[in-house]
Amino acid sequence: MVGILLVRRQAVPDGVLLGWSLLAGVAGSLALTAFYIALSRGEMGVSAAVSGLLAAAIPALVSMGMEGVPGAKRLIGFGLALAAIWVIAAGPSPENAGGRATLGLAVLAGVGFGVYFVALRMANPLGLVMPMAISRGASLIVCSVMLLIFRVLGRDQGAMRMTGAVAMWAVGAAVLDTGGNMLFMGATRLGRLDVAAVLASLYPAGTILLAAWRLHERPTRRQVMGMVTAVAAVVMITI
């Protein structure tokens, strides 16, 4: 991202737009950390569902305040999408080490993701590359500080070595994540924030389909119902 900016000779902005870009990076990194910790403690389905619902609901409410209430079809579509997120993601977990602390982390993650989406939308007058480069830089700093703190406290639990395979998966995840977020920003430049946020929050359906393809995991009946509901929601939102 920085290399693209250097080639284009773009100057680093200041003021409110810089602040929104930095906020996106800080909120995104804190949310992702809370989300991963919640998943590692068990109750994975509930954690994913709660965070996904908040990540969709917060930008939708902000968008309605900024851009007005959408039409009836889209409101029905939003309701179907929120239901689909819960039905797809929530479910029995292989572990049960959660509790209030895990639920709190899931809520924190969802709020952070919601703020992240809103902040990216507010920073989009800078284009696509500049806000993403700034937010990624802020995320790198925040995550480095947290890693240092966890190491000092002896809670990093990072016994796994950085093998070539692990590095390739990490790089692949970073490229896809950054590309997905840039597509989200492009969607908010062309249309409403609530539409982009709600549709982007349906990603658990894609995760399940990829797991079925690559890991040969069979979706449950509940998940299939959720994906059918998600398709109906997409139709209602986009028509």
pLDDT one-digit tens code per residue, 7-51: 988 888 888 999 999 999 999 999 989 988 887 776 566 777 788
Burial 185-220 (b: 16+ CB within 10 A, else e): bebbeeebbbbbbbbbbbbbbeebeeeeeeeeeebe
Backbone φ and ψ for 154, nearest 5 degrees, come out as 75, 25
CA atoms within 13 A on the CB side of 213: 6
pLDDT in tens, 97-108: 456 777 888 889
**In contact, 34 and 102? CB cutoff 8 Å:** no
**Which pLDDT does position 98 carry in this prediction?**
54
Backbone φ and ψ for 236, nearest 5 degrees, come out as -65, -35
Where the chain has pLDDT below 70, the residues are 42-45, 91-99, 155-160, 239
- Model-level pTM? 0.83
**Which pLDDT does position 43 carry in this prediction?**
59
**Which pLDDT does position 44 carry in this prediction?**
65
**Which pLDDT does position 92 carry in this prediction?**
56
Q: Which residues contact 125 (CB under 8 A, 6 or more apart)?
A: 17
